[in-house]
Amino acid sequence: MNSTPHIIQEGNVQFQLGELTGNKISYNFPKILIYLEAKGKLLFGKNFKIYSEDEAILYKLCIYFIRDFDTCAKLGVDSNKGILLSGPVGCGKTSLMKLLPFIVPHQNQHSLIPARNITFSFNKSGFKIIEDYGNNGFYCFDDLGVETTGRHFGKDCNVMGEILLSRYDLFLKRNLKTHATTNLNAEELEYRYGNRVRSRMRELFNLIAFDKNSLDKRK
């Protein structure tokens, strides 16, 4: 058990993200941003940076991950649901969902899995894959909506749609959250997965969206 989860060591540098009083951490958002940029450079290369225009999005994500329930409620973020992080290609969705768990090393961590990889696995192994991802685990499904339709022994299947329906049941029974990233908007998601899945997604996720004109940071 980490007795100082608000203090994170990266090599020879120590980052203190807040103050610990009793068993409660009072986090400091500017200090979190400093750490996220430093950790991002370690993970993704020296050109990684936190952009000032993304700070409003980052603030919502950070208060969710640090479990600041009062501020979440004020900003309309349901701490019981997962995160659906949407935005245009290259705005940084995947990087952030890889980065943010590092600010809360004492919490249960999600595994980030590209949705298209899950469909490829279905094509090879069949419906066992839907059970594997639908009935257990804590996942962030990356690039939801860009995967192809699955096909196993000649039978087509909207693999991620079926997994999301199973994750909804899992959420109701065990309060097990699901996260996802997507380039699609609400209408495109409904077209891709149908009204039933889209309805379940509203109950599964907090939608946190980058501006549609956000920069492509990979250029």
Q: For position 36, which CATH number holds?
A: 3.40.50.300
Query: By the 8 A CB rule, do 7 and 16 touch?
Result: yes
Q: Is residue 136 part of a domain?
A: yes
**Mean pLDDT, rounded, for 172-190:** 94
Between 45 and 154, where is the model more confident?
45
In a domain, 135, yes or no: yes
Q: Hey, what are 205's tokens? A: 């996720």
Q: Could you read off the pLDDT of 64-82 as tens digits, one per residue? A: 999 999 999 999 999 999 9
**Domain assignment present for 85:** yes
Residue 218 has pLDDT above 80, yes or no: no
- Confidence at residue 198, expressed as pLDDT on a 0 to 100 scale: 95
Q: How confident is the model at residue 217 (pLDDT cuts 50, 70, 90)?
A: confident
Mean pLDDT of the chain: 94
Q: Is 20 helix (H, G, I), strand (E, B) or coil?
A: strand
- SS3 label, residue 106: coil
- What is the domain extent for residue 54? 7-209
User: For residue range 90-118, what is the model confidence (pLDDT) as tens digits?
Assistant: 899 999 999 999 999 989 999 999 999 99
Whether residue 104 is contained in a domain is answered as yes
How many domains is the chain partitioned into structurally?
1
Residue 217 lies in a domain: no
Residue 32 lies in a domain: yes
Write the pLDDT tens digit of every residue in 133-167.
999 999 999 999 999 999 998 889 999 999 999 99
Three-class SS of 108-155 = CCCEEEEHHHHHHHHHHHCCHHHHHHHCCCCEEEECCCCCCCEEECCE
Tell me, yes or no, whether 1 lies in a domain: no
